[in-house]
Amino acid sequence: MSYIEVKNLNKNFIAKNGSVEAIKDLNLSIEKRDIFGVIGLSGAGKSTFVRCLNLLEKPTSGEILIDGVDIQSLKGKDLRFKRQKIGMIFQNFNLLEQRSVLANVCFPMEIQHVPASERKEKALELLRRVGLEDKAKAYPSQLSGGQKQRVAIARVLASDPDIILCDEATSALDPQTTQTILALLKDIHDTSDITVVIITHEMKVISQICSKVAVLDKGVLKETGSVDEVFNNPTSAATKRLLLIKNTEEQSEEIEENAEKAGEEEEINA
């Protein structure tokens, strides 16, 4: 049995003009230590899917087993304990604005009643891990987007999670910062037993760090498998469309780069 098993997952939202099916009969297996990417355009249901994994969103029907435990059977304290082992990082970082960086990283440990002295020591160690030890006393408003996401990563690691869920974690960041955040996530994965689930609309994110990928389109799982398999031999129209977007993006980036180079040359010549 896989580490995360999703069986016949359905999620409907009640909207003004009737019910919206965000996820339709989704079946998915994620193995331990996978870096599993879920890709789709906006509205594909990928965010809803990942939020079902820690029950931020309650599935309409279906089963979610994590390490053999049906998470929907967990209530109150048991659910909170389980959530402590499933870290989540967000597109908008969601740091506590009124707390220093250090206190933000301490927060999950406060929830878990870790003694104060231990909390501080571990938080400082984690800030070193993400390269922000000099920002311990700073406040989130004083940090750049990339730095905020590093704090969020340190905060997630403070609970010693088994799983890290990334909900569009790099979508608010520029390409260079995205690279460094992904490299950090990869490094964390490679030096631990953590299973990572990454939700994104960017192919580049998947190809940079994921081992496996699932393509979602309008709430339906179109295909899943190793990244090479899926991207080299796409069988669904949704995947092909995503690949097309990726290629156009790369081309436009090339054009931009060339334009920049040309501009620089002009400056030199002038």
Partner 1 sequence: MHDLLIALQAFYEEYGVLLLEGIRDTLYMTLLSTFFGYIIGLPMGIVLTLTDKEGISPNRIIYTILDVIINITRSIPFLILLILLVPVTKALVGKSYGSTATIVPLTVAAAPLIARMVESSLKEVNKGVIEAATSMGASKFRIIINVLLGEAKTSLVVGTTIVLGTVLGYSAMAGVVGGGGLGDIAIRYGYYRFETGITLITVIFIVAIVQILQGLGMLVAKKSDHRRT
Residues that bind partner 1 (CB under 8 A): 54, 56, 79-84, 86-88, 90, 92, 94-100, 107-108, 110-112, 139-142, 159, 165
To the nearest whole angstrom, how small is the minimum distance from the Cβ of residue 60 to partner 1? Answer: 18
Give me the count of residues in the chain.
Answer: 270
Q: Is 91 exposed, middle or buried (0-12, 13-18, 19+ CB in 10 A)?
A: middle
Cβ distance to partner 1 smaller for residue 111 or 255: 111
Residue 140 or 146: the one with the smaller Cβ distance to partner 1 is 140
What distance in Å separates the CA atoms of residue 123 and residue 191, rounded to the nearest whole number?
18
Q: In the complex, what is the shortest distance from the CB of residue 232 to partner 1, in angstroms, rounded to a whole number?
A: 35
The least distance separating partner 1 from the CB of residue 210, rounded to whole angstroms, comes to 21
Question: Shortest distance, CB of residue 248 to partner 1, whole angstroms?
Answer: 31
For residue 149, give both structure tokens.
């996401």
Q: Structure tokens of 93?
A: 């970082």
The smaller minimum CB distance to partner 1, of residues 77 and 232, is found at: 77
Q: Which residues 6+ apart lie within 8 Å of 222 measured at CB? A: 215, 216, 236, 237, 238, 239
Q: Which of 79/124 has CB closer to partner 1? A: 79
Torsion of CA 24, 29, 33, 37, to 10 degrees: -30
The minimum distance between CB 67 and partner 1, in angstroms, equals 16
Q: Is 93 helix (H, G, I), strand (E, B) or coil?
A: coil
Nearer to partner 1, 140 or 234 (CB): 140
The answer to whether the beta carbons of residues 205 and 178 sit under 8 Å apart is yes
